[in-house]
Amino acid sequence: MTQKFNIIFFSEVNSKFGMPIFKMLYHDDRFNIKAFVTTPEGKLCSYYINEDNPVDLEKYAESKDIPVFRPNNINSSKFIDELSDFNPDYILIANYQKIFKKNLIELPKLKTLNFHPSPLPRYAGLAPFFWMSLNGEKNTGVSCIEVTPEIDGGDIVLQRKVRLTGNENSLEVREKLFKASFSLFNDVLDLICQGPLKTHKQDMTKRDYHSNPSQEDKTITNNDTVSSALAKLKACAPGNAYVQINDNVFKVNSVSWSQTSKTKLKLKDGRLSFFLENAL
């Protein structure tokens, strides 16, 4: 009989990255999902709030009789002891925004793996789609890595290159990298079954790390050029960018080229006309 690997799966409860991976893993007869670990009660991943077609990974797990855990501290000895009862071969992580410490990382018999939608060591950290869109990125990719205490710093298991046009907004970048990640995930499952996994170290001289974009990162001011202003609008889409005019900050609902407008912002190399509402 072919060996079945015991898996503990971690993801945000409303993750549109985690849900397809959860389903692929559940329907793969080579794996047993012994437990699902997600965010504490009432905590949602901000990426997906207010989007159409929300998902609920807790409900999915419960529908498949998979035990669900929503700990406040994933690194507590008590919680790790609970998970050890499931005798995991692997921990697999897809969009789970908490730091794993050594004892949890070393819990499974084999490895703890994370799927990150960027070409590590580039675009480590949160919100890679915003930063790729802002930078007009054309050469990107997705990664599966071993988990270490350093965020997104572990050895690489497998990567896949992805080409962009450089004109995508953040949601379009996300959709393309998610699609590539789901294909990569299936390839990694095959490698697990062929085992043992071979890895190689990241070239950390090429690492760049990004945190979640702040409102300041999304705000157009008179220090922007037309190009940098348009890049911020594109990176924020389909959400709102902001514009600062004098001492007032507004959400931007639309922007257009115009000969005249009630409100204009003089940029370094030209003007943009904004239709503004919802002053902050």
Task: Extract the tokens encoding 63.
Answer: 């529908």
**What number is the average pLDDT over the span 18-23?**
98
For the cut 70, the answer to whether the pLDDT of residue 196 exceeds it is: yes
Strand-pairing partners, residue 200, are 156
**What DSSP designation does 29 have?**
T
pLDDT at 114: 98
For residues 221 and 223, give the distance between their C-alpha atoms in angstroms, rounded to a whole number: 5
For the cut 70, the answer to whether the pLDDT of residue 274 exceeds it is: no
Q: How many CA atoms lie within 13 A of 200 on its CB side?
A: 6
pLDDT digits 0-9 by tens, 236-253: 988 889 999 888 898 887
Percent of the chain at pLDDT exceeding 70: 93
Angle of helix 18-26 versus helix 170-194 axis, rounded to 10: 30
For the cut 80, the answer to whether the pLDDT of residue 171 exceeds it is: yes
**What number is the average pLDDT over the span 93-122?**
97
pLDDT digits 0-9 by tens, 41-85: 999 998 899 899 999 999 999 999 999 999 999 999 999 999 999
For residues 38 and 70, give the distance between their C-alpha atoms in angstroms, rounded to a whole number: 5
Three-class SS of residue 55?
A: coil
pLDDT at 266: 77
Question: For the chain, what is the mean pLDDT?
Answer: 92
Task: Name which of 279, 201, 197, 200 is nearest 243 in CA terms.
Answer: 279
pLDDT at 268: 78
Reported confidence tier of residue 278, pLDDT bands at 50, 70, 90: low
Residues 6+ apart with CB under 8 A from 258: 273
For residues 52 and 71, give the distance between their C-alpha atoms in angstroms, rounded to a whole number: 27
Three-class SS of residue 175?
A: helix
Reported confidence tier of residue 1, pLDDT bands at 50, 70, 90: very low
In the chain, what is the straight-line distance between the N-terminal and C-terminal CA atoms, in Å?
63
From residue 185, alpha-carbon distances to 114, 139, 250 in Å are 10, 20, 41
**What number is the average pLDDT over the span 151-164?**
97
Task: Extract the tokens encoding 83.
Answer: 């998970």
For residues 85 and 87, give the distance between their C-alpha atoms in angstroms, rounded to a whole number: 5
pLDDT at 113: 98
Reported confidence tier of residue 280, pLDDT bands at 50, 70, 90: low
For residues 99 and 234, give the distance between their C-alpha atoms in angstroms, rounded to a whole number: 30
For the cut 90, the answer to whether the pLDDT of residue 232 exceeds it is: yes
Give yes or no for a contact between 98 and 118, defined as CB atoms under 8 angstroms apart: no
Give yes or no for a contact between 70 and 39, defined as CB atoms under 8 angstroms apart: yes
Task: Name which of 12, 90, 86 is nearest 54 in CA terms.
Answer: 12
Reported confidence tier of residue 261, pLDDT bands at 50, 70, 90: low
Q: Identity (one letter) of the amino acid at 216? A: E
Strand order in the sheet with 241-245: 219-220, 241-245, 248-256, 270-279, 264-267
